[in-house]
Amino acid sequence: MVQITLPDGSQREFEGPVSVSDVANSIGSGLGRAALAGKVTFDGTTPQLVDTSFVIERDAQLAIVTAKDPEGLDVLRHSTAHLLAYAVKELFPEAQVTIGPVIDNGFYYDFSYKRPFTPEDLKAIEKKMTELARKDEVVTREVWDRDEAVQLFRDMGEEYKAEIIAAIPSDQPISLYREGDFVDLCRGPHVPSTGKIRVFKLMKVAGAYWRGDSNNEMLQRIYGTAWATKDEQAAYLHMLEEAEKRDHRRLGRELDLFHFQDEAPGLIFWHPKGWTIWQQVEQYMRKVYQDNGYQEIKAPQILDLSLWKKTGHWDNYSENIFTTESENRLYGLKPMNCPGHVQIFNSKLHSYRELPIRYGEFGQCHRNEPSGALHGMMRVRGFTQDDGHVFCTEDQLQEECARFTELLQQVYADFGFKDILYKVATRPEKRIGSDEVWDKAEAALMESLRRAGCDYEVSEGDGAFYGPKIEYTLKDAIGRHWQCGTIQVDFSMPERLGAEYVDAQDQRRTPVMLHRAILGSFERFIGMLIENYAGALPAWLSPQHAVVCCIAESSADYAAQVAKELSAQGLRINADLRGEKITRKIREHSMQKMPYILVVGDKEAETGAVAVRGRGGLDLGVMPLADFSARLKHEIDTRQ
């Protein structure tokens, strides 16, 4: 007998070996039809994702995976990538297939072909995919000897696939998946038949070097998306349309905020309006420092390479460090601020009574990111962090971590974000420090989130090389996730750099060091703000609060007077005194996402009033200038 334990704790017994599909059907025909895969666990081992045809030969725990599950959606998307390759081979037999993994919200497949695929080709491929899916061909798994599999693909003219298989150790079995006339290398699992693949769309074609090496052939990468339902796909496509409208690179040009150019790859040229946004963010964060016990400091931009070797950065991060030389001495342009902060801590001996010591810096960093990874303000080579480091005792660790989470939540709320995801990233394979130290650090972070009442997930192996971390991820206006803040527990770097304090027994101890940032990179956070608000930033962040437009030349002096009076109150105000029609002025300033447009004519001049228009064509009517000023100041002060 084989006993199967289901997720709800119920058990089913079968007279002999049983497939995942048979178990699903025994529960109900509806589940049998919906099943895409199974998650099997034997004797407490790690759950194994398997095909529905997988045969369970001994007692096990089993969860049936459908398209409603995250794993099921991945299976669906991976199977759609294979369907894409199947369709390409049907239409373009000379094309060679390479790899086709699942990615966020979809999949891609790389092909080698004699000419570029066109938009018309994509339409034809998508149509062929639909035809193949409707044939509902069974997808079967086959296990081959490695050398025989290599020969199989060479005989088919698939040299790339043969190269991949040849690199696999000879003692490992090779799993192939077959659907109709198409066969492909894959670990699986896959859907039981092509008919399960119903909702998909091909998105675009891009170039990609074979194995990511620019010395190799440029392949053609076809991107696609796949979903369980049409509604989910429609929502995703709508989100993409919104994301394109909100793209910070486009809005940066249209709103005259910043630009990029080839002479400074990965670096930003800030224009006056964009730099005004920056200043509002920095001034706000400086007040956060002042109100929460941080001492603002400034460390050098370059440090002798010997220091980066002491910290472990050179051994673990050297490919990302820009270097320079002077008088036969090598220096590293700082990729992060922590070693400099330790030097400031080390400049004198501290008592335990002084701890925790909290340092904060708006620290400019540079990292030698690959050119292909650069992406507007989201991935740059030069950036500024709202970087802070807390030196504390082990006893203070929990309190400092919980305190930071509470502070971060308030800051994000002020910027308009209340939906935060929490993730604890644990020890990576490449790390420094003992397992005992890592145990302490990971436990401290998890307990601090529990104390703050935060649900979290664990991301195994994604910590920094010197310590685990909490990653704080924000959800924006169109449902996208952005990882911004972080706090990292570090027992190793203070010891490596000789940081010490004197404890209550007059003994010298090494402090625990917390690396923390709320916004992370200013550049990335501002880019995220621009996209979240589609360029229409809240008044307190907006480059300009209002523009005063005169209707005619006769009211130009009054318009200038209004702008001067409001500016004297600390508001960011411009006057548009051009001789253009007022409708054109209103249209142009509306397109510039101006929070308020003040229209003045002879009547307003006589009464000391302004006609106020808000964003989105909102007509607030005529009001005394003092009333408008009070309204705007309240909006700024409360960060509405």
Given the residues 385, 396, 488, 544, select the one marked as catalytic.
385
Judge whether 387 counts as a catalytic residue: yes
Given the residues 190, 367, 431, 545, select the one marked as catalytic.
367
Query: How large is the greatest C-alpha to C-alpha distance in the chain, in angstroms?
Result: 97
Given the residues 39, 469, 496, 585, select the one marked as catalytic.
469
Judge whether 310 counts as a catalytic residue: no
Q: Which of these, 489, 493, 483, lies nearest to 443 by C-alpha position?
A: 489
Given the residues 78, 313, 515, 516, select the one marked as catalytic.
515
Tell me, rounded to whole angstroms, the distance of Cα 601 from its chain centroid.
49
Judge whether 389 counts as a catalytic residue: yes
Using an 8 Å Cβ cutoff, are 116 and 122 in contact? no
For 65, residues 6+ apart whose C-beta sits below 8 A from its C-beta are 35, 36, 37, 38, 39, 49, 71, 72, 75
Q: How many C-beta atoms surround the C-beta of residue 90 within 10 A?
A: 16
C-alpha span between 580 and 582 (Å, rounded): 6
Judge whether 338 counts as a catalytic residue: yes
- Quickly list DSSP for 48-107: EEE-TTPEE-S-EEEEEE-TTSHHHHHHHHHHHHHHHHHHHHHH-TT-EE----EETTEE
Check the annotation: does 389 bind a ligand.
Answer: yes
Check the annotation: does 589 bind a ligand.
Answer: no
C-alpha span between 420 and 437 (Å, rounded): 28
Judge whether 564 counts as a catalytic residue: no
Q: Which of these, 332, 360, 366, 292, lies nearest to 519 by C-alpha position?
A: 360
Judge whether 315 counts as a catalytic residue: no
Map residue 323 onto helix, strand or coil.
strand
How does 15-35 read in b/e, with b if 16+ C-beta sit within 10 Å? Answer: eeebbbbbbbbeeeeeebebb
- β-strand partners of 331: 304, 324
Check the annotation: does 401 bind a ligand.
Answer: no
Using an 8 Å Cβ cutoff, are 20 and 57 in contact? no
Judge whether 401 counts as a catalytic residue: no
Question: What is each CA distance from 218 to 115, 166, 487, in whole angstroms?
Answer: 11, 21, 40
The residue assigned the tokens 């400034």 is: 298
Given the residues 161, 220, 338, 576, select the one marked as catalytic.
338
Question: What is each CA distance from 351 to 403, 501, 515, in whole angstroms?
Answer: 22, 5, 21
Given the residues 190, 221, 341, 389, select the one marked as catalytic.
389
Which parts are annotated binding residues for Zn(2+)? 338, 389, 515
Looking at the annotation, which residues are catalytic? Answer: 338, 367, 385, 387, 389, 469, 515
Which parts are annotated binding residues? 338, 389, 515
